[in-house]
Amino acid sequence: MNSIDSLLHESRRFPPSPEFVANAVATPALAAAAASDRLGFWGDQARELLHWHQPFTEVLDWSNPPFAKWFADGRLNVAYNCLDRHVLAGNGDRVALHWEGEPGDSRSLTYAELTAEVKKAANALAALGVVRGDRIALYLPVVPEAVIAMLAIARLGAIHSVVFGGFSADSLRARIDDAQAKLVITADGGWRKGKVFPLKATVDAAVEGTTVEHVLVVRRGENDVEWTEGRDLWWHEAVGTADAEHEAEAFESENPLFILYTSGTTGKPKGILHSSGGYLTQVAYTHKNVFDLHPETDVYWCTADVGWITGHSYVVYGPLANGATQVLYEGTPDTPHPGRWWELIEKYKVSIFYTAPTAIRSFMKLGREIPDAFDLSSIRVLGSVGEPINPEAWIWYREVIGGGHAPIVDTWWQTETGAIMVSPLPGITSLKPGSAQTPIPGIELAVVNDDGSPVEKGSGGLLVITQPWPSMARGIWGDNDRFIETYWEKFADAPGGPLYFAGDGARLDEDGDLWLLGRVDDVMNVSGHRLSTAEIESALVSHPIVAESAVVGAHDETTGQAVVAFVILRAEHAADHTPEQASAVLRGHVATSIGAIARPREIFIVAELPKTRSGKIMRRLLQDVAEGRAIGDTTTLADTSVMQIISDRMDAAG
């Protein structure tokens, strides 16, 4: 997280160059149109950016907040909008995907080819009985089939639930169960860090006894897999033999498009639900205007995995709705050499590059000689997402990757918001390193005090969104009470309607620009991925040697935050393990229960945890310990000796 002090001293400004302004997609007229008639503006965007099989007559129905309906009487097909219409418009020969596998194999698909593949996949899925409204889980590496599968599901009006390939069998099973998925699409394995990691075996372990009827398997890793006859099918057989003709049916604008699970403040992940017309409108609009997309000439690359919201909105739906040409890369940034990303930018002449601050910071550590060895002169716009970008990383990104001239768009948004909400516009905004700056035209938000009143310029508070927006979540799958409780109850009685509480702290500077300050709840942000302290705590206590645990997000120079756990062992087991052994066992246990991304950086085995008189664990104190700070005021502690015990233990552990 940014330290507020260093932010307040950041005063550098970077106005757009006259050359950039001359060709910019977003102009001041866009902001003026949104300001004069917000709903009319969104209606215009929806009509200009998308093809509606049946036009809508009403832009927004907010009669039942917080459940919005956008363009409700319009009908469209999301996949048709991402594919067929580009081919019909004469752009079938334009490359949609330049896919690059980690071992160096590659495959480019034009819009005509991608459309044909998606039609075949839609026919194959329909033959397996998939109909509108069915839930299908995806557990795939970043291969073209991931994009093809998502679009084929959308084409049928069914609902995808993509589960990041780093999640464990238990996490996958929980998501399959929650959504009652009838089909899983996976691969034998995928490439990562020079090796094939198995995926099918994890699916085998996850689907036993669930609602899953079939497992469709893409051949990618060529690794050995177990096969369940009747249940398992190869993708290349089922899709390879399917008909390449498929007519897209139009569905209503509010037809659900996908569920994506994200960590919340309690242990159970939330299935965030998104629908079609509003979502596609806002992802297409932001992708075009925030990244200054010129689809005929730009080559765009977003490094996110399709398993995260950034992959959904800015790898699949936004770029394809806009007819963009993009790079899709399967592997890690440093395989087989630390310049792999820069080599890909040179190879494909990438002009728009979108990645996360954690990646930028790890490249900074390696030194600029690595990117300097490649020709990055094609870059003209850079994007950042996932966590606040500190000014030092911002300046390095612009200087080293952006040739000292590329504007950086620092985009704030969430799984729940569906699309970018706050970002500079590269041809308009004078950039401030470290600030996400302004809501995009059409979005209304505020920074408020705990009572919902707006803060003065120059002060901090909570970020809220004050008006409904097209790509907003339509609920939590199967648990709309939780949707209301989590996001809408805190400021339910605000004048003018309920406010959406984002869970982020923010500060308004004297110009009214926004500086994001990180989560205010028990959600950590590790390398731009959301992890819940409660979920990791519950994984830890599920291990037989653990009596109690507390997890905090500690500052980490590269990953932003890192998971640090404090664990009390059960008395009967405490003697059997040295702290080092227990910590190693438990780190592995968290990785198996949730996934490697949740594996704690450190686990401290302690005798007690600091609690308030009412029994709440004092996480702030633990955070101080985890970050190596002096212990602050402990007068509210039930037993003030506890912290002493904890720090003694840690000293002993070295």
For the CB of residue 2, give the shortest distance to ligand 6R9 in the complex, in Å.
Answer: 9
Residue 231 carries which DSSP code?
T
Q: Which CB atom, from 171 or from 525, has the smaller least distance to ligand 6R9?
A: 525
For the CB of residue 387, give the shortest distance to ligand 6R9 in the complex, in Å.
Answer: 5
Q: Which CB atom, from 385 or from 563, has the smaller least distance to ligand 6R9?
A: 385
Q: Which CB atom, from 92 or from 424, has the smaller least distance to ligand 6R9?
A: 424
Inter-residue contact 124 to 154 (CB < 8 Å): no
Q: Which CB atom, from 314 or from 348, has the smaller least distance to ligand 6R9?
A: 314
Phi, psi of 374 (to 5 degrees): -120, 155
Q: Kindly tell me the burial class for residue 364, based on how many C-beta atoms sit within 10 Å of its own C-beta (0-12, 13-18, 19 or more).
A: middle
For the CB of residue 333, give the shortest distance to ligand 6R9 in the complex, in Å.
Answer: 18
Which amino acid type is present at position 146? A
For the CB of residue 445, give the shortest distance to ligand 6R9 in the complex, in Å.
Answer: 13
DSSP track, 575-635: TTS-HHHHHHHHHHHHHHHTBGGG--SEEEE-S---BBTTS-B-HHHHHHHHTTPPP---T
CA distances from 627 to 171, 362, 422, 555 (A): 29, 20, 30, 6
Q: Which CB atom, from 80 or from 291, has the smaller least distance to ligand 6R9?
A: 291
Q: Which CB atom, from 568 or from 597, has the smaller least distance to ligand 6R9?
A: 597
What's the residue count for the chain? 654
d(CA 574, CA 624): 25
Q: Which CB atom, from 242 or from 419, has the smaller least distance to ligand 6R9?
A: 419
For the CB of residue 61, give the shortest distance to ligand 6R9 in the complex, in Å.
Answer: 26
CA distances from 15 to 408, 427, 503, 600 (A): 11, 9, 31, 41
Annotated binding residues for Mg(2+), as ranges? 541, 543, 546
Inter-residue contact 99 to 143 (CB < 8 Å): yes
Q: Which CB atom, from 121 or from 598, has the smaller least distance to ligand 6R9?
A: 598
Annotated binding residues, as ranges? 192-195, 310, 386-388, 410-415, 504, 519, 527, 530, 541, 543, 546
Inter-residue contact 146 to 312 (CB < 8 Å): no
Q: Which CB atom, from 200 or from 270, has the smaller least distance to ligand 6R9?
A: 270
Annotated binding residues for CoA, as ranges? 192-195, 310, 527
d(CA 419, CA 247): 28
For the CB of residue 5, give the shortest distance to ligand 6R9 in the complex, in Å.
Answer: 17
**Nearest Cα to 643, choosing from 413, 632, 652, 156?**
632
DSSP track, 234-271: EHHHHTTTS-S--PPPPEETTSEEEEEEE--SSSSPEE
d(CA 138, CA 622): 37
Q: Which CB atom, from 157 or from 311, has the smaller least distance to ligand 6R9?
A: 311
Inter-residue contact 535 to 267 (CB < 8 Å): yes
Phi, psi of 167 (to 5 degrees): -80, 155
Beta-carbon count within 10 A of 594 CB = 24
Structure tokens at 528: 């731009």
Q: Which CB atom, from 200 or from 529, has the smaller least distance to ligand 6R9?
A: 529
Coil, helix or strand for 187?
A: strand
Inter-residue contact 564 to 604 (CB < 8 Å): yes
For the CB of residue 521, give the shortest distance to ligand 6R9 in the complex, in Å.
Answer: 9
Structure tokens at 372: 């300097």
For the CB of residue 10, give the shortest distance to ligand 6R9 in the complex, in Å.
Answer: 14
Interface contacts to ligand 6R9, rule CB under 6 A? 262, 308-310, 385-388, 410-415, 436, 502-504, 516, 519, 525, 528, 530
For the CB of residue 206, give the shortest distance to ligand 6R9 in the complex, in Å.
Answer: 22
Secondary structure of the chain: what % helix, strand, coil (to 5)? 35, 25, 45
For the CB of residue 247, give the shortest distance to ligand 6R9 in the complex, in Å.
Answer: 34
Annotated binding residues for ATP, as ranges? 386-388, 410-415, 504, 519, 530
For the CB of residue 422, give the shortest distance to ligand 6R9 in the complex, in Å.
Answer: 7
